[in-house]
Amino acid sequence: MAEAHPSEPHSLATASGLLLGSLGAAMAVGALVGWALGAAGLGLLIGAIAGIPLGVLVVYRVYAGAS
């Protein structure tokens, strides 16, 4: 009898959604902090730069437990 393998819980869409969501959240926070300090554009840029490694970390944390 063939063994049924459970479906993979994570897909490429999940990873890209996590990356884009993390990047967008970091950009939004950066823009808000920048706006509060009088430089929303600079805050948005800093949020985007900080969001890239944040997104990678989030995807790594989610996929690290998946075998």
Alpha carbons within 13 A on the beta-carbon side of 64 = 6
Q: For 3-27, b where at least 16 C-beta lie within 10 A, e where not — what string?
A: eeeeeeeeeeeeeeebbeebbeebb
pLDDT of residue 6 exceeding 80, the answer is no
pLDDT of residue 37 exceeding 70, the answer is yes
pTM, entire model: 0.78
Phi, psi of 66 (to 5 degrees): -80, 135
Q: What is the reported pLDDT for 66? A: 67
